[in-house]
Amino acid sequence: MELKFINLSKCYGKKQALIDFSATMNEGVYALLGPNGAGKSTLMNCLSDLIEPTSGKILFDGKSIKAMGADFRSIYGFMPQSYGLYPSFRAIDTLRYFARLKGIENSEKKITQLLETVNLTDSANKRVKGFSGGMKRRLGIAIALLNDPKVLVLDEPTAGLDPKERIRLRNLISEVSFDRVVIFATHIVSDVEAIAGNTILLQNGRVLKSTDTCSLIESIEGKVWEAKVRNADEAILENSFRISNITKVSDGAIIRIVSDSKPYENAVSISPSLEDVYLYYFDEAASKND
């Protein structure tokens, strides 16, 4: 299975929202990371056929998704960041409704399985208007999985979920990714570090980095430090450090710093994380654009 983007670009007048995006994706989870305006939504909308790219193309197993038309849509699942649900519908009614919209026949067994998968079995007959934000997100995931898609796109799927639900959802995404391409767009970097085999960093419509997640984290090895300071606020103001974490202690603070060089004499090099990567590359890109 192969999903391929070839020099995909999208312009709105003179504004370039996406610039020569190229990537090849196979089964597994792909994290799509970037600040607001990076081009994530534009990319997802092009893949969803909601907007037409200015140039470039998208192929699935060597065929243009535009030429495939309904055939591609039948193997595609998308959960947008925000979506409407009928408040008077029960959860099970909602899934039946979307199953009919997607042309899925004999869907009852699939619906029962999905309700269990997203931990909504006990709420199957409850009306959506009484659902918490997290329950609605889980229902949205179930809707996206109804047609057993080969390409699954999730836009901020963990938004509104409590820690326990986020872990459950991460495990679910990891499980379903073995036989499909999953694109996970999010601002919550920690949610993808454990499950994304590959990560794409987008900035101002361009790809900053695209590689396997472990290699990306290793790329800033020796650039993450931990140091104890008397006054964290003064340290930040005086040195303009990129600080990823501050832990207050009785006689000062322990700060986690992302820096190319050793920031303090007492600084100790520590193992980087994907959050450090995010801070390193996007803060650097922002500085170059100033």
Q: Is the predicted pLDDT of residue 290 greater than 60, yes or no?
A: no
Residues 257 and 161 in one domain: no
What's the pLDDT at 90? 97
Max mean pLDDT among 33-37, 63-67, 278-282 falls in: 63-67
pLDDT band at 286 (very low <50, low <70, confident <90, very high): very low
Length of the chain: 290
pLDDT band at 235 (very low <50, low <70, confident <90, very high): low
Residues 45 and 85 in one domain: yes
Domain final residue pick, 156, 185, 218: 218
Residues 210 and 230 in one domain: no
What's the pLDDT at 287? 40
- Using a cut of 0.85, tell me whether the model's pTM lies above it: yes
pLDDT band at 139 (very low <50, low <70, confident <90, very high): very high
Residues 241 and 278 in one domain: yes
Residues 65 and 123 in one domain: yes
**33 closest CA partner among 254, 257, 198, 229:** 198
Q: Which domain holds residue 250?
A: 224-289
Residues 180 and 247 in one domain: no
Residues 172 and 269 in one domain: no
Residues 205 and 264 in one domain: no
Determine the distance from the C-alpha atom of residue 253 to the mean position of all C-alpha atoms in its chain, rounded to a whole number. 32
Residues 228 and 261 in one domain: yes
Six token digits for residue 193: 């570090």
pLDDT in tens, 82-96: 888 999 999 999 999
Residues 212 and 251 in one domain: no
pLDDT in tens, 247-264: 888 888 898 999 999 988
**1 closest CA partner among 186, 132, 149, 118:** 149
Residues 211 and 233 in one domain: no
Domain final residue pick, 202, 218, 234: 218
Domain final residue pick, 218, 241, 272: 218
The number of folded domains in the chain is 2
Please report the beta strands in the chain, taking only residues with DSSP state E, as ranges in sequence order.
Answer: 3-12, 15-25, 28-33, 55-60, 63-64, 76-79, 151-155, 181-185, 198-203, 206-212, 224-229, 242-249, 252-258, 268-269
Residues 137 and 99 in one domain: yes
Average pLDDT over residues 154-164: 82
**CATH code where residue 195 lies:** 3.40.50.300
pLDDT band at 189 (very low <50, low <70, confident <90, very high): confident
Helices marked H in 21-86 — which ranges?
40-47, 65-68, 70-73
- CA dist 284 and 264 (Å) reads 20
Chain mean pLDDT for the chain = 89
Q: How many other CB atoms sit within 10 Å of the CB of residue 194? A: 13
What's the pLDDT at 276? 94
